[in-house]
Chains A and B, each alone.
Chain A
């Protein structure tokens, strides 16, 4: 029956996801704010995703954590409302606004019903345009951030990330966690928070995606009212940075039964012409979609771990390829050895079968990403920030299918360097064996 199933699969593949298409409209508001829109009127709500390029990497020297604290306090009082009145108003409308910040972006993810859209947007506008940053709100949220910093201090995953970033990026904002340290967060003043707000939420860095029960005209008017009163420009973005790593293994002693192993080296930029090829390669090597080489060698054959994977991390100011695994302390060095061997093997390229399988998976899985209004809105913003064309959704699978084995060979050699692969182990793996 294996044969029978595979034959059936092959026939169905012929009739594959060809029907897939997403109709993306480019909208420019009367006030000049650009947005991408997918109209979807079957469910009476809209998902709106707004991102500001820059994010926590815009923290000023010595003020690490200011932008994170600012973003966490945005919703804690606006206009003539304190935190509780604001929350009560939002809950009464059954709207949701989520404010997040990462090193490269700050995001606002909003969701509101058609029946009270104007009120929901007017309320969100107050948080975006007229946040209060009351001292009491800042102090309360600061306690929460400090609590997270305290918890992270004894979390092996966080220790691994922190150790790797500090080593690779040093004094660049990427070198320190965006939450800041207990000392830097404790020292932040209200003025620091207001400065952080003025620096991050600026019109020149806005990207917008909207999906749902809204027309282009309605969206344009809404964006002008929501964002039109923000300052036009902000401070310069930080400089690019090359990771300073040497292919060694750093062990951080931590008393826990399972070691966390983080590894990586320099990767590839999102706007590099070889990015799609690198993406396919990484999928074969350490992707989550199917039995990647890392899953096969480390989990399936040897049972060393529950999960292992690798991913490309193209950032605004640097680019990395990372991987992570967790394994019992006594098997950590085995895992390091197998990962390094596999890193060397993938540098030699892949087989035609592996490439074909990855293409089938990636092209078939792509339409499944467009799963719900909020997800699609997020994808639309991501595409704009990566400077992809508006028809990319409908041409992306052709790009994947066009990659040849020669492309793969060339890019594999360029991307994977086992000698440069840096490891951080947090746990108690014992002494390194002689060959490590």
Chain B
């Protein structure tokens, strides 16, 4: 049931944990502060070149939500040396593909090309790191494009609107409560000045990490990086990365989101949860395993077994936790009830089973199987340099170090059943929780059931 899972999970925060890695890793820092990480893989003459900025939606000023993402689009609109669209055209003319993405904690640009084009990619990324040049017509057209992107991803998807509302309720003070793509009313009035202010501050070598994966050698990468990125001036007074933090959360939040386009009602509960911190990853590792034990596999997880197989209350259950985050993240649970089971009953079943699990403890055989899959992931993940590069980029822009990344697999393997239960009891505090019901308005739901 891949599709059902995709349908629901996509509307939540990214759930894939950052796992083990296996590659030859080289790293160095240029004089201007640019960090470079090389992950070697010489099976094919292909290279992935990514530039990660330690700046995302959560680094925006109040009132201009969506500007980090809007700027990401504008980076393709030309520099003092390149005409609008020229960047991608040159990548394509070299047989490569390129794209970019923005999240709360980072903005990243990448190209996949034949290994002998790495220098050209660096030359062009270095150019647009400091020399963006925009004209008014381009930026207005592109604002319409990002509006259509919001329509596509959010306004047309009740599950995504629901997710925005839950997230806004989850964070009382931290900007993670504001959607990356921006609130509709703010993103529709973003200006060139808004975008340039963000650009001038954050797009600088001392705020960037270049991650290269594939068929490249350390001495070559260093030579090219010094040649192309070396001359760039850093931002002298780069602000420290301190966002408004959460106060103690004292009151449970509950919401019902109704939309006639909802075909399948469901319940999502999320809790504020600690993220992986540099040098301190045990709690996050325990929560990562907790998510797998509770809701990882439909057939063998605690919730799947009890609610989908035995009691048959649910069509689908899941637990999610993404430990890779600069500030506090969330731990969450999903239940999609079978027809005839109300959302209230489904939510009660979920709570009952989680409590019963805390009493019962972790099934050691299940934990062994999960840890076996984590060990295997070190082998499987070596097959995709692109995904490896992505994992490194996300971890490094979330405040983790290469050491943290290297130690993570062993930390996960060392987590005990007791630590998992203890971490679960700590996170499972309703005062930190948002519970959301998604359903069609009553009349419509009766027709469905």
Q: Once the chains bind, are A111 and B95 in contact (CB under 8 Å)? A: no
- B145 interface contact, C-beta 8 A: yes
- B46 near A371: Cβ-Cβ < 8 Å: yes
Interface residue? A176 (CB, 8 A): no
Q: Is A271 an interface residue (CB 8 A)?
A: no
Question: Secondary structure of the B side of the interface?
Answer: helix
**B46: nearest chain-A partner, CB-CB:** A368
If the complex has contacts A2-B82, A370-B44, are A13 and B94 also in contact, measured as CB distance less than 8 A? yes
Contacts of A151 in B (CB 8 A): 4, 7, 263-264
Bound together, the chains give a CA A259 to CA B404 distance in angstroms of 46
**Cβ of B116: which chain A residues have Cβ within 8 Å of it?**
12, 15
A204 neighbours in B (Cβ, 8 Å): none
Interface segment out of the listed B29-37, B191-199, B304-312, B348-356: B304-312
| Chain B residues within an 8 Å CB radius of A196 | none
Interface string of A344-368 (1 = CB under 8 A from B): 0000000000000100111111111
> Nearest chain B CB to A57's CB is how many angstroms away?
19
- Does A326 touch B at the CB level, under 8 Å? yes
Question: Nearest Cβ in chain B — how far from A44, in angstroms?
Answer: 6
Interface-facing stretch out of A141-149, A223-231, A312-320, A380-388: A141-149
Q: Which residues of A contact B2 (CB under 8 A)?
A: 98, 100
Could you tell me if A367 and B44 are in contact, using CB atoms closer than 8 angstroms? Answer: yes
Task: Find out whether the CB atom of A368 lies under 8 angstroms from the CB atom of B95.
Answer: yes
CA distance A304 to B151 in the complex (A): 12
Q: Nearest-CB distance from A432 to chain B (Å)?
A: 21
The verdict on A6 contacting chain B, using a C-beta distance below 8 Å, is yes
B383 located at the interface, meaning its Cβ lies under 8 Å from any Cβ of chain A in the complex: yes
Considering only residues 3-29 of chain A, those with a C-beta below 8 Å from chain B are: 5-6, 8-9, 12-13, 15-17, 19-20
A contact residues around B113 at 8 Å (CB): 364, 368
B-chain residues with CB within 8 Å of residue A92 when the two chains form the complex: 368-369, 372
Interchain CA distance A274-B238 in the complex, whole Å: 57
In whole angstroms, what is the CA distance A91 to B3 when docked? 20
Q: How large is the interface on A (under 10, 10 to 19, 20 to 34, 35 or more residues)?
A: 35 or more
B28 at the interface (CB under 8 A from A): no
CB of B127 within 8 A of chain A?
Answer: yes
Cα separation A314 to B141 with both chains bound (whole Å)? 35
Name the CB-closest residue of A to B366: A88
Contact yes or no, A364 B114, CB < 8 A? yes
Task: Tell me whether A257 and B95 are in contact (CB under 8 A).
Answer: no
User: A364 to B120, alpha carbons, bound, how many Å?
Assistant: 15
Q: Which of B44, B151, B260, B305 contacts A84 (CB 8 A)?
A: B305
Query: Given that A92-B368, A305-B145 are known contacts, is A258 also in contact with B93, CB under 8 Å in the complex?
Result: no
Residue of A nearest to B382 (CB): A43
A227 to B161, CA, bound (A): 46
Query: Does B156 contact A87, Cβ atoms closer than 8 Å?
Result: no
Is A94 on the interface with B (CB-CB < 8 A)? yes
Most buried by B among A144, A302, A327: A144
Cα–Cα distance between A146 and B339 once the two chains are bound (Å): 10
At the interface, yes or no: A252 with Cβ under 8 Å from chain B? no
By beta carbon, the residue of chain A nearest B112 is A368
A306 on interface, CB distance cutoff 8 Å: yes
Is B133 in contact with chain A by the CB < 8 A criterion? no
Q: Which residues of A contact B85 (CB under 8 A)?
A: 291, 300
| Chain B hits for A372, CB < 8 A | 383-384
Cα distance, A76 to B1, chains bound together (Å)? 11
The winner among B88, B141, B147, B299 for most chain A CB atoms within 10 A is B299
* Contact A83:B141 (CB < 8 A) given known A91-B370, A367-B114: no
Q: Are A83's CB and B299's CB within 8 A?
A: yes
Q: Are B380 and A361 in contact (CB under 8 A)?
A: no
CA distance A368 to B446 in the complex (A): 51
* Interface 1/0 per residue, B358-397 and A, CB below 8 Å: 0000000110111011011101101110100000000000
Quote the shortest CB–CB distance from B400 to chain A (angstroms): 25
Residues of B within 8 A of A94 (CB): 372-373, 375-377
* B142 contacts chain A at the CB level, 8 A cutoff: yes
Closest to B314 in A: A143
Q: How far is the CA of A15 from the CA of B113 in the complex (A)?
A: 13
Contact for B379 among A45, A72, A327, CB less than 8 A: A45
Binds B, one of A48-56, A153-161, A261-269, A411-419: A153-161
The verdict on A258 contacting B151 (CB below 8 Å), with A94-B376, A291-B88, A361-B95 known, is yes
A326 touches B45 (CB 8 A): no
The yes or no answer to A162 lying at the interface (CB within 8 A) is no
Is the Cβ of A153 less than 8 Å from the Cβ of B263? yes
Which chain A residues border B124 with CB–CB below 8 Å?
5
- Assuming the contacts A88-B369, A155-B263, A291-B89, asked whether A257 and B155 have C-beta atoms less than 8 A apart, the reply is yes
> Does any Cβ of A come within 8 Å of B123's Cβ?
yes
Decide: A300 near B92, CB < 8 A? Known: A17-B114, A44-B379.
Answer: no
**Residues on A with beta carbons closer than 8 Å to the beta carbon of B376:** 45, 94, 113
For B141, the chain A residues whose CB sits under 8 A away are 300-303
Q: Determine if A368 and B97 form an interchain contact, defined as CB atoms under 8 angstroms apart.
A: yes
A153 to B262, CA, bound (A): 9
Contact A144 to B315, CB < 8 A, known contacts A111-B380, A303-B144, A326-B156 = yes
How far apart sit A15 and B114, CA to CA, in the bound complex (Å)?
10
Chain A positions 85-131 with a Cβ under 8 Å from a chain B Cβ? 86-88, 91-94, 98, 100, 111, 113
Assembled-state Cα–Cα distance A195/B444 (Å):
37
Asked whether any CB of chain A lies closer than 8 Å to the CB of B168, the reply is no
Is the Cβ of A364 less than 8 Å from the Cβ of B315?
no
Chain B min CB distance to A144 (Å):
5
Do B83 and A2 touch (CB < 8 A)?
Answer: yes
B-chain residues with CB within 8 Å of residue A253 when the two chains form the complex? none
- Pairwise interchain contact B1-A363, C-beta atoms closer than 8 A: no
Tell me, yes or no, whether B149 is within 8 Å of chain A by CB.
Answer: yes
Chain B residues lying within 8 Å of A43, measured Cβ to Cβ, are 379, 382-383
Q: Is the CB of B46 within 8 A of A290?
A: no
Given the known inter-chain contacts A2-B82, A87-B300, A144-B4, please indicate yes or no for A113 contacting B379, CB distance below 8 A.
yes
Asked if A12 and B93 make an inter-chain contact with CB atoms under 8 angstroms apart, the answer reads: no
Quick check: is A396 within 8 A (CB to CB) of the other chain? no
CA distance A17 to B112 in the complex (A): 13
Closest residue of B by beta carbon distance from A75: B299
Q: Is the CB of B316 within 8 A of A91?
A: no
User: Which chain B residue lies CB-closest to A88?
Assistant: B300
In Å, the complex CA distance between A328 and B380 comes to 42
Chain A residues with CB under 8 Å of B86's CB are 2
**What are the residues of chain B within 8 A of A260 when measuring CB–CB?**
156
Whether B95 lies near A256 (C-beta < 8 A) is no
Q: Which residue of A lies closest to B131 (CB)?
A: A1
Q: 0/1 per residue, B70-90, Cβ < 8 Å to A?
A: 000000000011111110111
Given contacts A144-B1, A365-B92, A371-B384, 11 further A-B contacts (CB under 8 A): A12-B94, A19-B45, A88-B299, A94-B376, A143-B339, A144-B316, A148-B7, A290-B89, A300-B85, A306-B145, A360-B93
The 8 closest A-B pairs by CB, nearest first: A364-B95, A303-B144, A290-B92, A94-B376, A87-B299, A1-B81, A151-B263, A258-B151
> 22 A-B residue contacts at CB 8 Å?
A2-B82, A16-B95, A45-B380, A45-B383, A83-B309, A87-B297, A91-B369, A92-B372, A144-B1, A144-B4, A151-B264, A152-B263, A290-B92, A300-B85, A303-B142, A303-B148, A326-B152, A326-B156, A357-B93, A364-B94, A364-B95, A364-B114
